[in-house]
Amino acid sequence: MMTRTKTRTIRLQIFTQTSPKSAFKAISEPELLKRWLLDGASLSLRRGGSYSFTWVGGPTHAGHVLEFVPGKQITLTWQWPGQEDLLVTRLKLEVEPKNAGTVVRLTHSGFPKQERWVDLYGGSIQGWTYFLMNLKSVLDHGQDLRSQYDW
């Protein structure tokens, strides 16, 4: 018997030529998050810790650290500004050594399958794809691809 889930999950990954240590720092340290993802960040790197991420152009995400494995994984609650009481999802970022570099995996889970959430799910796929490609560019080439016109 096949069980159907009630939620959707985004699974994306990139390969970078950098070390797992450098890749993990890029996904977990506030100053480095600003190089490829955010305009501002505070993040308490411990289970139960809190975070606040400010996007270029204004909106802020805030939530909690659900899991933290130093050098390997961080999982956060993820809520959208103005919808905090409607939807809480989970964002997991992981690094894994691979050949002479690192695989960075992103898993964003908990998107309801109802039609009202389709745009948010699709927009999240686009956004995370864009930002992971930017992370790869920053790690492998030192180049931030973001533009003021993206916002």
- Backbone phi and psi for residue 60, each to the nearest 5 degrees, phi listed first: -125, 135
CATH of 9-141, one of 3.30.530.20, 3.60.15.10, 3.30.70.1150, 2.20.25.10: 3.30.530.20
**Domain coordinates of the chain in residue numbers?**
9-141
What does the pLDDT look like over 13-36, one tens digit per residue? 999 999 999 999 999 999 999 999
Nearest to 62 by CA among 80, 74, 85, 37: 80
Residue 94 CB partners (closer than 8 Å, separation 6+)? 72, 73, 104, 105, 107
Q: pTM for this one?
A: 0.91
Average pLDDT of the chain?
92
What the block records as the tokens of 72 is 């390997």
Specify the amino acid at residue 3. Answer: T
Give the C-alpha separation, 118 to 79, whole Å. 16
What does the pLDDT look like over 85-130, one tens digit per residue? 678 999 999 999 999 999 999 999 999 999 988 999 999 999 999 9
At 75, the pLDDT band (50, 70, 90 cuts) reads very high
